[in-house]
């Protein structure tokens, strides 16, 4: 199943963006082997609920054992892609860096996922999503005017600027390798990807169409018609009526078309915001959802994670699926001829060591188990 069926990927286990990229490739049909440390446990609860580990088998390898690193090299020799998310230099010290792997398989695409990148003054320092998006300007742009920057979970850096760029980079390098016959190293840094995500805003800033402060611009809550408003029951309604024709529908459905001031004059924005806020606060979220159903007013209820999988549109599309009683996002994007699908449930670390190594043609699996280089959970 999936357009990547037949692609072999070795994933050196990590946290956050690396596992997300590996999950994405597995969702699209790749055969991904996750290399876990012996005795590893999930950082986020029971292994069977670690959804970022879905779709692949787990092999437990002691990379500090000489035969352990040799096992990873044997897998790299049989793989199309290797993914790792260590700090710069760690994979090399463990004997599984790019030079060692490419020496065994010159067509290998070696994907490296870090926050700061493989070089630069901060390359070897620790970090997390929040720090990466802080230095790129993204964090400063998120929040209300006059208030502090707001923490956007870790979707902007780890998964948007990190994992997605790793996946795109790996797939681009695979396409190139089909022509050249040679692999290469993909350096995916969260700071680079997050900066790249903001390309449009840099253009608007240069053109004088964006102010370098938060909460005063078209897309950051500065415009009254692109903001979130509280409803009568404490819920919220997202309003994104950017175009004039959509804004007209918004005002009409709210019943305030005759009272709304001209939106093209920024001097009217405080009055327009107050009118929108006061009107929306008169009804519940469910009532406004019914009012805007099927319209082009670009108003939508703000749903929680646990509510989202019940939304009628997302249900109709199968955007969320349920496995073993756990709702979770379905594979994306969609393909007309080779659709992706949920593969295996999240694996217990080391749960497939004997099976997977045998399937990949690694020799002397029993000897490796006996030596302690690899472990079967």
Q: What are phi and psi of 330, to 5 degrees?
A: -75, 160
Question: Which residue among the candidates 50, 158, 220, 227 is catalytic per the annotation?
Answer: 158
The Cα 191–Cα 350 span in angstroms is: 32
Q: Is the peptide bond before 102 cis (omega within 30 degrees of 0)?
A: no
Question: Which residue among the candidates 128, 236, 309, 311 is catalytic per the annotation?
Answer: 128
The owner of tokens 């802080």 is 134
Q: Which long-range contacts (CB under 8 A, 24 or more apart) does 93-100 make?
A: 94/63, 94/64, 94/69, 95/63, 95/66, 95/69, 95/70, 96/12, 96/63, 96/69, 96/72, 98/185, 100/73
The Cα 58–Cα 78 span in angstroms is: 16
The Cβ of residue 155 has, within 10 Å, a number of other Cβ atoms equal to: 11
User: Cα–Cα distances in Å, from 370 out to 28, 68, 181, 373?
Assistant: 35, 12, 37, 8
Strands 57-61 and 184-189: unpaired
User: Cα–Cα distances in Å, from 64 out to 68, 96, 150, 369?
Assistant: 7, 11, 41, 15
| Catalytic status, residue 202 | no
| Catalytic status, residue 128 | yes
Q: Where are the alpha helices (DSSP H) in 37-189?
A: 66-78, 90-93, 98-104, 129-135, 164-180
The Cα 215–Cα 199 span in angstroms is: 19
Which pair of structure tokens corresponds to residue 318?
């199968």
| Active site (catalytic) residues | 128, 158
């Amino acid at each position: 199943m999936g357009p990547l069926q037949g692609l072999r990927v070795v994933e050196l286990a990590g946290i956050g963006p690396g596992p997300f990229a590996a999950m994405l490739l597995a969702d699209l049909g790749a055969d991904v082997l996750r290399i876990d440390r012996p005795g590893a446990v999930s950082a986020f609860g029971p292994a069977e609920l670690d959804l970022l580990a879905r779709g692949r088998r787990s092999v437990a390898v002691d990379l500090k054992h000489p035969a352990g690193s040799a096992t990873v090299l044997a897998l790299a020799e049989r793989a199309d892609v290797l993914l790792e998310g260590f700090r710069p230099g760690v994979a090399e010290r463990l004997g599984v860096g790019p030079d060692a792997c490419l020496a065994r398989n010159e067509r290998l695409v070696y994907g490296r996922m870090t926050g700061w990148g493989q070089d630069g003054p901060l390359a070897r320092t620790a970090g997390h999503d929040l720090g990466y998006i802080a230095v790129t300007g993204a964090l400063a742009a998120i929040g209300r005017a006059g208030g502090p920057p707001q923490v956007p979970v870790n979707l902007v850096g780890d998964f948007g600027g990190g994992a997605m760029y790793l996946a795109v980079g790996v797939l681009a390098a695979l396409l190139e390798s089909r022509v050249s016959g040679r692999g290469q190293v993909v350096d995916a840094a969260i700071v680079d990807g997050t900066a790249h995500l903001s390309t449009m805003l840099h253009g608007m800033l240069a053109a004088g169409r964006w102010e370098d402060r938060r909460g005063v611009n078209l897309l950051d809550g500065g415009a009254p018609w692109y903001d979130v408003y509280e409803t009568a029951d404490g819920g919220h309604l997202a309003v994104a009526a950017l175009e004039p024709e959509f804004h007209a529908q918004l005002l009409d459905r709210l019943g305030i078309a005759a009272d709304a001031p001209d939106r093209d004059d920024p001097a009217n924005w405080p009055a327009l915001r107050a009118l929108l806020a006061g009107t929306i606060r008169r009804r519940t979220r469910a009532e406004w959802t019914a009012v805007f159903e099927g319209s082009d007013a670009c108003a939508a209820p703000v749903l929680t994670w646990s509510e989202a999988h019940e939304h009628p549109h997302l249900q109709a599309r199968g955007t969320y699926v349920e496995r073993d009683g756990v709702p979770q996002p379905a594979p994306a994007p969609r393909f007309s001829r080779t659709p992706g699908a949920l593969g295996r449930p999240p694996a217990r670390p080391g749960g497939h060591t004997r099976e997977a190594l045998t399937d990949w043609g690694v020799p002397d699996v029993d000897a490796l188990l006996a030596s302690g280089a690899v472990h079967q959970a």
